[in-house]
Amino acid sequence: MADKKSIFRNVNVLREINAENTTEIVDFYQPGWLSPQDVQNNFRYSGFITSLRLTIDISSISSLVSIPVDSLATDTEIATATEETFTGNAKKCLCLYARTSNTPLIKIADIYLFNQRPYYYVDLLPYLTSNGTFDIAPDTILSYQIRDAGYGLLSGEDRVILLGTVVEEAPETNLETTTIINNGTSTTSLLDLAPITDSIAALQTDIDAIQELLGA
């Protein structure tokens, strides 16, 4: 029996950014194409990014030195110390971008990279959404770019690992589960019945028209 079903799959985003990267803008994620074995050809999945972070291992600049803040400091004093820490330390920069088929490239955020040994993490999801996941339309592309923030690009042994997890969903369609026996192996597959249903409906229309003519 045919019913409406969605197909899901898990996808990992994994990319190493190092001294070989120049200032070019690099696409790192767009929902994947549906393969011929999937539900519908020539369509992309939609995506739900459940995690996306940077692992930052920068050693080509001086180590980060934080301005100490007293536990009883006011909000103004904390803000001042934070700003002095930011401006007083060497840093690199990674720009995060997004675009769609109708919207040109837009910068989402600048993520500054410091030398905090041995390494540290930056969660990118808060730059994209205030929710636990970020929904990606089939035509949306996420990109990054390494930018000179006054201390050069990545160099030497600098490494930034971009790591994420995405749940991708195929478009809904009319599906029926069948079992195929191939060399003694039972394989469950999903057949798209929508084209077959449309063909049967068109054929029935032709039959009705012929019967009406014969009856006349």
pLDDT tens string 107-157 = 999 999 999 989 999 999 999 999 999 999 999 999 999 999 999 999 999
Residue that is written with structure tokens 């014969």 in the block: 214
What are the tens digits of pLDDT across the range 8-34? 899 999 999 999 988 999 999 999 887
Fold of 7-171: Jelly Rolls (2.60.120)
Q: What is the model's pLDDT at position 179?
A: 40
Give the pair of three-digit tokens for residue 119: 């390494």
Q: Determine if the peptide bond prior to 118 is cis (ω within 30°).
A: yes
Instruction: Output 91 or 189, whichever has higher pLDDT.
Output: 91
Residue 199 confidence class, pLDDT cut points 50, 70, 90: low
Q: What is the model's pLDDT at position 28?
A: 97
Domain ranges of the chain: 7-171, 175-215
Pick the closest to residue 160 from 22, 13, 54 (CA basis). 54
Q: What is the model's pLDDT at position 4?
A: 59
Q: What is the model's pLDDT at position 72?
A: 87
Q: How many CB atoms lie within 10 A of CB 41?
A: 11
Residue 85, classed as helix, strand or coil, is helix
| Mean pLDDT along residues 186-196 | 44
Q: Which pTM was predicted?
A: 0.73
Tell me the sheet residues that pair with 11.
Answer: 166
